[in-house]
Amino acid sequence: MDKIIVGIDISKKKFDACMFFPSGKALIQMFNNNSKGFSALLKWFDQKKVNPFCVAMEATGCYGEDLAHLLFNEGYKVLIINPAQIKYFGKSKLSRAKTDKKDALLIAEFASTHPNLKPWVPLTASQEKLKNLYRHLDRLKADRAQLLNRLESNRDEDVKKLSTDQLQFVSNQIQELEGKIRTQIKFDPDLKKKADLLLTIPGVGEALCWGILAEIPDFERFMSAKQLAAFVRLNPSVCESGSSVRSRGGISKTGSSFLRKLFYLPGMSAMRCNPVIKKFADTLRANGKKGKVVVIACMRKLLHVIYGVMIKKQPFIG
């Protein structure tokens, strides 16, 4: 790629920006991760008389969202890259040092050598709302599980009463949030249409449906079901070399662990009630597969079914 790329390594309070030129020259500057720092970054572009072809940064959750939105609104092509890709790219270059400046340069180099990366597009206001509601619901469910464990282990009556009151409060909030999520989906035509399609698939209930809508708002950005499986961390990991190395395989852990955990119970359910998944599971067992190997394969198969339904925009037909 013969265009100027800017790589950004971002953290909570500051970020390092690397202006990477086709010649290999790199200019690096540090900025505060706030509105003043964002303005200073744009001013830096003007001072250097540079209009970057794209700005690339790692997916770092909330730390980079404000900057990504600002750059997108300013008309820049923004790339949000999986940190695992940057990590393995650095290893391929035999990079030993790890500093913020080095990481910014590495991100810029990665973007310059991968010209087919899809640009980042921000969520709609409705999608953003659903994502925030759903993630808060997930946190509250985790809190409820912790409170239940404490309630079982505590013997003091006063502590048990306080824990019971707290548990009731959290349960009421969970119920309220679930109502808000249903309303959010019901009154958004696009979300409602997608939810209706997802719920035609045996094994997909409300919990998985909400998680998919919150975390995978756009199925079109995945070129295949295998690519989606990699994003959800349900792609197989194989370890084979020559004629002697045959390690036990597993699943890759370079995608979204948040999504992966959502598929366990639905995958188990689909093995019983979804004719496609049930037949698939029976075939695996007949071939000698057992236990978690079958469950994980069925989780992945369910994801493939979901991908087909959402891409074709047609209800599930068993």
Report if residue 222 sits inside a domain: yes
Task: Looking at the structure, tell me whether residues 80 and 168 fall in a common domain.
Answer: no
Report if residue 234 sits inside a domain: yes
Report if residue 20 sits inside a domain: yes
Report if residue 229 sits inside a domain: yes
- Per the model's pLDDT, the better-predicted residue between 285 and 246 turns out to be 285
Structure tokens at 202: 């045996």
Task: Looking at the structure, tell me whether residues 37 and 108 fall in a common domain.
Answer: yes
Task: Looking at the structure, tell me whether residues 222 and 177 fall in a common domain.
Answer: no
CA distance 27 to 64: 21
Strand blocks (E) in the chain:
5-10, 14-20, 26-32, 54-58, 78-81, 236-241, 245-251
Task: Looking at the structure, tell me whether residues 53 and 96 fall in a common domain.
Answer: yes
Provide the 10 A C-beta neighbour count for residue 161: 11
Task: Looking at the structure, tell me whether residues 131 and 109 fall in a common domain.
Answer: no
Does pLDDT of 298 surpass 90?
yes
Decide which of 169, 187, 205 is a domain's last residue. Answer: 187
Query: Phi and psi at residue 243, in whole multiples of 5°?
Result: -105, -5
Question: Total domain count for the chain?
Answer: 3
Decide which of 89, 113, 137 is a domain's last residue. Answer: 113
Task: Looking at the structure, tell me whether residues 129 and 100 fall in a common domain.
Answer: no
pLDDT value of residue 241: 44
Task: Looking at the structure, tell me whether residues 42 and 135 fall in a common domain.
Answer: no
Contact 192, 198 (CB under 8 A): no
* Site of tokens 């500051």: 14
Task: Looking at the structure, tell me whether residues 24 and 101 fall in a common domain.
Answer: yes
Report if residue 204 sits inside a domain: no
Task: Looking at the structure, tell me whether residues 38 and 94 fall in a common domain.
Answer: yes
Report if residue 153 sits inside a domain: yes
Task: Looking at the structure, tell me whether residues 219 and 302 fall in a common domain.
Answer: yes
What pLDDT digit, counting tens, does each position of 68-114 carry? 999 999 999 999 998 888 888 888 887 766 788 899 999 999 999 98
Question: Cα–Cα distances in Å, from 132 out to 58, 126, 128, 184, 280?
Answer: 20, 10, 6, 11, 35
Contact 109, 27 (CB under 8 A): no
What pLDDT digit, counting tens, does each position of 125-140 carry? 999 999 999 999 999 9
Decide which of 150, 169, 187 is a domain's last residue. Answer: 187
Residues in the chain: 318
Provide the 10 A C-beta neighbour count for residue 226: 16
pLDDT value of residue 251: 52
Does pLDDT of 253 surpass 80?
no
41 lies in which domain range?
Answer: 5-113
* Average pLDDT value for residue range 236-242: 49
pLDDT value of residue 245: 45
CA distance 168 to 292: 35
pLDDT value of residue 3: 87
- Among residues of the chain, what percentage have pLDDT more than 90? 62
Helix/strand/coil for 235: coil
Q: What is the CATH number of the domain that holds 53?
A: 3.30.420.40
Report if residue 196 sits inside a domain: no
> 189-198 and 206-215 helices cross at what angle (nearest 10)?
130
Does pLDDT of 149 surpass 70?
yes
DSSP count for the chain of H helices, then E strands = 13, 7
CA distance 157 to 138: 29
Query: Phi and psi at residue 26, in whole multiples of 5°?
Result: -135, 135
Structure pTM? 0.79
Task: Looking at the structure, tell me whether residues 12 and 104 fall in a common domain.
Answer: yes
Q: Contacts from 291-300 at CB under 8 Å and sequence distance 24+? A: 295/264, 295/267, 295/268, 295/271, 296/234, 296/251, 296/267, 298/267, 298/268, 298/270, 298/271, 299/234, 299/263, 299/264, 299/266, 299/267, 300/229, 300/234, 300/235, 300/236
Report if residue 200 sits inside a domain: no
Task: Looking at the structure, tell me whether residues 183 and 238 fall in a common domain.
Answer: no
* Average pLDDT value for residue range 144-150: 92
